[in-house]
Amino acid sequence: MLTLHTENLGQVTIPVPFCEQLGIKPGTLLEASVVGDHIELRPLPADPIAAFAGSIASRESLSEALIEEHRQEVERDPKS
């Protein structure tokens, strides 16, 4: 753990080893959050769409699940 000091306007410099480990380069966007009594910084992906792709992997497709759910609702509905 390193101790950093703030500059004008609350700016801090992220140490080079941290940047190298996390792939932070000039222009990298960071997400900042206050968590309890400290600040957390997370580098954001350069292409958030590509980073998100495949993150909701499922064995069943959403359309198949919705069709099945609708079929079950129709079977339960006495008006049909």
pLDDT digits (tens, 9 = 90+) for 6-62: 999 999 999 999 999 999 999 999 999 999 999 999 998 877 676 666 666 666 677
What is the reported pLDDT for 30? Answer: 92
Whether the pLDDT of residue 5 is over 70: the answer is yes
What is the reported pLDDT for 60? Answer: 67
Where are the strands (E) in 1-80, listed by range?
Answer: 30-35, 38-43
Distance (Å) of CA 34 to CA 27, 37, 46, 47: 22, 7, 23, 24
CATH of domain 8-76: 2.10.260
* Domain residue ranges in the chain: 8-76
30 contacts 41 by C-beta, under 8 angstroms: yes
Q: Read off the pTM.
A: 0.54
Cα separation of 77 and 79, whole Å? 6
